[in-house]
Amino acid sequence: MKPEEIIQRIEKQLYSADISPELQNFGIVETVGDEIVKASGLSNVGYYEEVAFEDGSSGFALNIDEDSVSIVLLKDSGHIVRGMKVKTTGNILSVKVSDSLIGRVVDAAGDPIDGFDLKHVNPASYPVEKIAPGIIERSSVDRPLKTGIKAIDSMTPIGRGQRELIIGDRGTGKTAIAIDTIINQKKLDMGLKRVICIYCSIGQKKSNLAAITARLKEEGAMDYSVVVAATASDPASMQYIAPLTACAIGEYFMDRGEDVLVVYDDLTKHAWAYRQISLLIKRPAGREAYPGDIFYLHSRLLERASRMSDKRGGGTLTALPVIETQGNDMSAYIPTNVISITDGQIYLEADLFNSGIRPAINVGLSVSRVGGAAQTKSMKQLSGPVRLELSQFRELQSFAQFGSDLDEDTLKRLERGKRITEILKQPQYKPCDEISEVVSIFAVTSGLFDDIAVEQITQAETRLAEFIKKNCADTAKKLSSGAKIDDALKEEMKKNILEFKKINNYGSELTTA
């Protein structure tokens, strides 16, 4: 900023300054320890109100007892002592939001941690805790949020405004799915509006966060993304506030009519942080030592995801919470809580991951309660057959060991299932567009890939998508619109695929079980 600009801004502030005296309420620090400060006085403090200490530290009031107030520290200078004064600020805990946040990595308080200054332009102040939109203000979810992952877009589609849980053991690819979804928003498929992505990292290693941020930058995803981070070395208060901050930032964009995606990675650590704080402020412990309102903590966060009605701007906030299970236990306390809140779950299994099926989605246990309403017409047509074929394949797999003792129909279904499984495998950081997804799934469910060896399916699929986009402009255009696949388009696609196979010499040998 030039010196003249600085002087102008200072003058503007001086002329518009409100110098009327305020009545400030203060208290005196009684005990300090473990991110919690107890203060007496503060008779007018409100719940979740920001308080400021004499030494510049700040926090917010989380427990208001008869004789004392428990303050959770956000910024700790390390010099808070007994007897120090603490005063109310009159502000509910909020975060400053503006377009300047896009492309930045910030902490739970909204301050930058990526090494550069953050200058807000026309900032607004959004409270981190907010009541979710009411029923009348909402509209039903009807627009797809494309993840670019074939298994998800075909069988557990996500709509804009939905809450879809990603659940699985450690190292099963939960974060990979979330990152691929964010990267895929670069495509602006099918003329849909851009999606602002907010990745909220809770309790993760800094090295992981650095790798994720670097990957997002490399893929160009930081042009429309914000990263909110409260890493493992940050205090529990920051880990507790981080998802609320991410949601508040998302609401700022949603209120302007934009579509937003918020990934909470992960809410298990969020629950741990809240448990720690609650135990420190001596709230009664319930099941597994979690406080009694642990369900409400997540339900009120996830209820803020919505599809707003056109009267309210038509914006959407889609939530992708991540939960880590221990030993595939989906029936544990926190997983069952969040499953009952969300509109479906994507269940990842370590066994599938280890056997090379990546993304390791268990399609039998994964569900999307929004379903076809969030799919294009073409994908909706194809999802039924692919789900049916896969479920038949799963049932028949146990008979596969009998080899030649099976009848022809069973063998055919097994082979088809193997090819569908191959099609649904996808490398990381390579989300597919609508055309590639529809063409791949159509090719395999229509039987046109039955005569291609299983080992060649992945290669054939990639080449087929390139072929269609390069050589069949008409077909590509129709597919990219998401319109229904009528008989004429079916024939056209069949013709194109057969031509592709002929040119590339696929299917020149018969395959047998």
Question: Residues with catalytic annotation?
Answer: 369
Cβ at position 170, least distance to other proteins in Å: 42
Instruction: Based on the shown chain and the rule CB under 8 A, indicate whether residue 30 belongs to the binding site for other proteins.
Output: yes
Residues of 328-338 as b/e, b for ≥16 C-beta within 10 angstroms?
A: beeeeebbebb
Residue placing its CB nearer to other proteins in the complex, 31 or 354: 31
Cβ at position 46, least distance to other proteins in Å: 14
Cβ at position 60, least distance to other proteins in Å: 18
Residue 87: CB atoms within 10 A of its CB come to 17
Residue placing its CB nearer to other proteins in the complex, 40 or 504: 40
Cβ at position 151, least distance to other proteins in Å: 48
Q: How far apart are CA 175 and CA 159, in angstroms?
A: 19
* 343 upstream amide cis, omega within 30 of 0: no
Yes or no: say if 168 and 349 are a contact pair by the CB < 8 Å rule: yes
Stretch that binds other proteins, among 35-43, 193-201, 398-406, 430-438 (CB under 8 A): 35-43
Cβ at position 47, least distance to other proteins in Å: 17
Instruction: Based on the shown chain and the rule CB under 8 A, indicate whether residue 215 belongs to the binding site for other proteins.
Output: no
State the amino acid at position 70 in one-letter form: S
Q: How far apart are CA 307 and CA 316, in angstroms?
A: 4
Cβ at position 12, least distance to other proteins in Å: 9
Half-sphere exposure of 390 (CA within 13 A, CB side): 21
State the amino acid at position 399 in one-letter form: F
Residue placing its CB nearer to other proteins in the complex, 70 or 239: 70
Instruction: Based on the shown chain and the rule CB under 8 A, indicate whether residue 43 belongs to the binding site for other proteins.
Output: yes
Span 382-401, contacts to other proteins by CB under 8 A: none
Yes or no: say if 128 and 248 are a contact pair by the CB < 8 Å rule: yes
Instruction: Based on the shown chain and the rule CB under 8 A, indicate whether residue 125 belongs to the binding site for other proteins.
Output: no
Instruction: Based on the shown chain and the rule CB under 8 A, indicate whether residue 144 belongs to the binding site for other proteins.
Output: no
Residue placing its CB nearer to other proteins in the complex, 52 or 155: 52
Residue 172: CB atoms within 10 A of its CB come to 26
Cβ at position 334, least distance to other proteins in Å: 35
DSSP 495-510: HHHHHHHHHHTTT-S-
Among residues 42, 271, 317, 319, the one that binds other proteins under rule CB under 8 A: 42
3-state secondary structure of 180: helix
Residue placing its CB nearer to other proteins in the complex, 67 or 407: 67
Instruction: Based on the shown chain and the rule CB under 8 A, indicate whether residue 117 belongs to the binding site for other proteins.
Output: no
Span 439-498, contacts to other proteins by CB under 8 A: none
Residue placing its CB nearer to other proteins in the complex, 23 or 488: 23
Yes or no: say if 79 and 73 are a contact pair by the CB < 8 Å rule: no
Instruction: Based on the shown chain and the rule CB under 8 A, indicate whether residue 354 belongs to the binding site for other proteins.
Output: no
Q: How far apart are CA 122 and CA 226, in angstroms?
A: 18
Q: How far apart are CA 199 and CA 201, in angstroms?
A: 6
Q: How far apart are CA 209 and CA 5, in angstroms?
A: 36
Yes or no: say if 482 and 378 are a contact pair by the CB < 8 Å rule: yes
Among residues 10, 210, 365, 503, the one that binds other proteins under rule CB under 8 A: 10
Among residues 9, 256, 430, 484, the one that binds other proteins under rule CB under 8 A: 9
Cβ at position 27, least distance to other proteins in Å: 6
Residue placing its CB nearer to other proteins in the complex, 44 or 459: 44
H-helix segments, 206-327:
206-218, 236-254, 267-280, 294-302
Residue placing its CB nearer to other proteins in the complex, 52 or 301: 52
Instruction: Based on the shown chain and the rule CB under 8 A, indicate whether residue 129 belongs to the binding site for other proteins.
Output: no
Residue placing its CB nearer to other proteins in the complex, 28 or 503: 28
Instruction: Based on the shown chain and the rule CB under 8 A, indicate whether residue 124 belongs to the binding site for other proteins.
Output: no
3-state SS of 39-68 is: EEECCCCCCCEEEEECCCCEEEEEEECCCC
Residues 6+ apart with CB under 8 A from 276: 236
Instruction: Based on the shown chain and the rule CB under 8 A, indicate whether residue 44 belongs to the binding site for other proteins.
Output: yes
Residue 459: CB atoms within 10 A of its CB come to 12
Nearest to 78 by CA among 52, 97, 95, 57: 57
Among residues 66, 310, 405, 509, the one that binds other proteins under rule CB under 8 A: 66
Stretch that binds other proteins, among 9-17, 236-244, 299-307, 343-351 (CB under 8 A): 9-17
* 123 upstream amide cis, omega within 30 of 0: no
Instruction: Based on the shown chain and the rule CB under 8 A, indicate whether residue 41 belongs to the binding site for other proteins.
Output: yes
Per-residue mark of binding to other proteins, 75-104 (x: CB under 8 A): ------------x-----------------
Instruction: Based on the shown chain and the rule CB under 8 A, indicate whether residue 40 belongs to the binding site for other proteins.
Output: yes
Instruction: Based on the shown chain and the rule CB under 8 A, indicate whether residue 26 belongs to the binding site for other proteins.
Output: yes
User: DSSP letter at 451?
Assistant: T
Q: Which residues lie near other proteins (CB under 8 A)?
A: 6, 9-10, 13-14, 17-19, 21-27, 30, 40-44, 66-67, 87
